[in-house]
Structure 1
Amino acid sequence: MIKFEDIKKVNETISTIDVKGKNYAEVNQRIKAFRMLYPAGTIETEILSVENGVCIMKATIKDDNDHILGIGHAYEKENSTFINKTSYIENCETSAVGRALAMCGIGIDTSVASYEEVANAIENQKPKNDKVTEAQKSLIKNNFNIPQVKEYCASKGITKLSQLKKDDADALEKMIFEAMEKSAPLDINSKEETF
């Protein structure tokens, strides 16, 4: 049976990374420590939900005798960080495993949060580019006669370029480029309509 002293000893082998004056263990370090304590133990992960670009994951840590030692959960949003554009599910799994191992007392000398979680949180706090670019305004203005563009603007109550929000400009830009890629003849009215 593992004792507190065993956990304390294995925690001394864990390398940490300093973030703003506080040390955090990486998840891979927690996994190595777990394997030192429980070579035949298991780390099980389960996707609880993946909907609308949001992943919720559960990780369960079991000892060599299949007894549950710790459970951790994590939540990640697709596109919330550069890494999450392609790997939000993997990131979510790593976070859940790190938290579950922390519940076992592994790598928690300074924090339950792992280095990866803290780095991700810091990245998510950075201001996002929320301004409509001049290129987007010009593209939308020059393609306002495309029926899909008109319909979108009407549905959102957009009557002037100055009313565009970044999300709207991004959606309209995508819509215009998709129409251009399809090279389908566009139903453009003969009379000019602009904002």
Structure 2
Amino acid sequence: MSGEVDEELAERARKLFAGPIEFLKSAPGLQFLPDPTAPEIAFAGRSNVGKSSLLNALTNRKTLARTSNTPGRTQELNFFDVGTPLQFRLVDMPGYGFAEAPKDMVKRWRFLVNDYLRGRAVLKRALVLIDSRHGLKDVDRDIMKMLDDAAVSYHLVLTKGDKVKPTELTRTLDALSAEAARHPAAHPLIFTTSSETGSGIAELRTAVLEAATA
């Protein structure tokens, strides 16, 4: 893709994310999913990875996605409509890897997420968020395997990139690249972001739009 097209796409993404974005609904089960009338981009990540903050930064909103100090609070699929007319939807998936959750809740989470990933034809891409300070954990590998098995293409996205030293960040990125190469559905392009400084947000917006319209 030429630099000119990149810039054009980036500007389209900027305008789109600066425009109307509305919460549509929460789905605690597959029967509550909205009609598959628009492409969907899903966000996955461990509890406390900064998923809500990243969604808010991407959409230029302070409270679009609820931020909470209680990990694992969101146990439903949350859908957001982007654009008027509707261009695509963002899907905030329930956080995973929270130690305090009862086993039946973890089981419900697995069923809901697995069924959504496997059965959603309009799901264009997933973003798997990884905390820059902690790197990849086994629970992250679990969701990557679920995405591999469901044949859903995904990007790895580092959050809180401003919280670690550049040398440490480079090491983490190298480790992620090596890991991504072993996963069939992992996209080779990895993003480093910071919701606080805005670093990497414009690039991620562009990638979301590109995936949604591909």
TM-score normalised by L of structure 2: 0.23
* Larger fraction in helix: 1
TM-score normalised by L of structure 1: 0.24
Q: Which of structures 1 and 2 has the bigger CA Rg?
A: 1
If asked which structure has higher relative contact order (CA below 8 Å, sep 6+), I would say 2
